[in-house]
Structure 1
């Protein structure tokens, strides 16, 4: 029997993950069955179960992959001197990591924000997925802290505010914008970038 190449195995795994993501985004995690996933990816049950034992493993793999990509983007930015400004960096992440995944648009019935909301909801009841999310958030947060500290070292951001507080706020801005997309309709990433630039333009007055 001919040996299957690693390239083929990787491509098949990619096909399954992309199809499952589309299926979950469109139908919701609980409404989508493994039969729905099989139809979406046009593979047999044996071919899919070779890689993933069920929906839980699929969604955990999707979440882990996305969080790793986000943290990698921020870690690379932190190594620049100085890093790109927050509006540019957040916009880059939302566009490149969230908005251009295979088979998923940033809007519409299979848009990535819809999948994000599905994941957040499932996290509240699935302890295994919750653990994946906590670990991923910790990694993303640490990467963002590195970016903020680089801003502070370069004199681009006041250094009397804890870097972790700024990092959490910037993550919240991206998450909140994605939630708005999923719940209230689409808007270009430039809207968030403009808003961040507006906030960044305020005079740095300290409260008394």
Structure 2
């Protein structure tokens, strides 16, 4: 059998991960089997297992993608509201539901927990870097105070973002755009 090129291998991994995401969304992580993912992907078991060792490995891959999406575009954010809009805009209901599953898995899977914690630390540091100038122009006089205020502002923004994920995943009546606009308006004050 011919070897896959790097680009084809990447495409195949993405195909498998997309099938896994659909299965996790439809059935939840605990109720999804590798057989479900194999069927959904249309690939052979051997193909799946040559790319991912287990369902947990697939979930970690899906989680990494979901978490990494949060930092994309933050370099241009200048205010807390910009950070909120940048972090939350790509999160639709499906992604919110998957993020809840990722967080639930992180509570029991040490490898998943480590990955989530690393991503949250990266998101916190990136958010702090984006907010430092805003904090300096809107509040405290000393560098130490500005650093502490920036850390607190980043924690508040990320807590609001996590609350958004929970609300949008669980309440189909909420309008995501209105909720993002409301959160952004509150944190820009």
* Structure 1 residues 72 and 92: alpha-carbon distance in aligned structure 2, compared to 1, 3 A threshold: closer
Structure 2 residues without counterparts, runs of 5 or longer: none
Structure 1 vs Structure 2 CA RMSD: 1.9
Q: Say if 2:124 is the partner of 1:141.
A: yes
Aligned to 2:169: 182
Structure 1 residues without counterparts, runs of 5 or longer: 78-82, 99-105, 202-208
Q: Say if 2:156 is the partner of 1:162.
A: no
With normalisation by structure 1, the TM-score equals 0.79
Aligned to 1:87: 81
* Structure 1 residues 32 and 45: alpha-carbon distance in aligned structure 2, compared to 1, 3 A threshold: same
Q: What is the aligned counterpart of 1:194 among 182, 185, 188?
A: 182
Deviation at 1:142, TM superposition (A): 0.7
Q: Say if 2:3 is the partner of 1:26.
A: no
Deviation at 1:148, TM superposition (A): 1.3
Higher helix share: 2
DSSP-derived class of the 1:50 partner: helix
- Which shifted more, 58-67 or 29-38? 58-67
> Do the aligned residues in 2 keep the contact of 1:91 with 1:189 (CA within 8 Å)?
no
Matched residue count: 182
Deviations 1:97-133 (A, max 9, x none): x3xxxxxxx23xxx11111111111111111111111
2: CA distance between counterparts of 1:121 and 1:2? 40
Aligned to 2:16: 16
